[in-house]
Amino acid sequence: MVFDELADSTDLPMEIDGQKPIPQMARRFWYDAYSATPETILADGSEIAAKQGNASAEVVLQQYLPPERRRQLPTVHA
């Protein structure tokens, strides 16, 4: 019931791809968006990294993120 209330409060459409919205759709969206974030940072950060004299955005993330956060990102290695 909580998901239905949340969906109503956000003006979610009654159907998405012909289906009534369900919690799994929200989870799928969240995990997809979350997993794409490091890739986006690395792709968009390359220009900034180059201006800072770094070889890649991954170098920037390795230098400026705390070790525990680096371990959480699949594309950034400690």
Domain extent listing, the chain: 2-72
Give the pLDDT mean for 28-35.
Answer: 78
Residues 34-61: what's their mean pLDDT? 73
CB 46 within 8 A of CB 34: no
pLDDT surpassing 60 at residue 26: yes
CA 74 to each of CA 39, 45, 50, 51: distance values in angstroms, whole numbers, following the listed order: 9, 16, 22, 25
- Give pTM, 2 decimals: 0.43
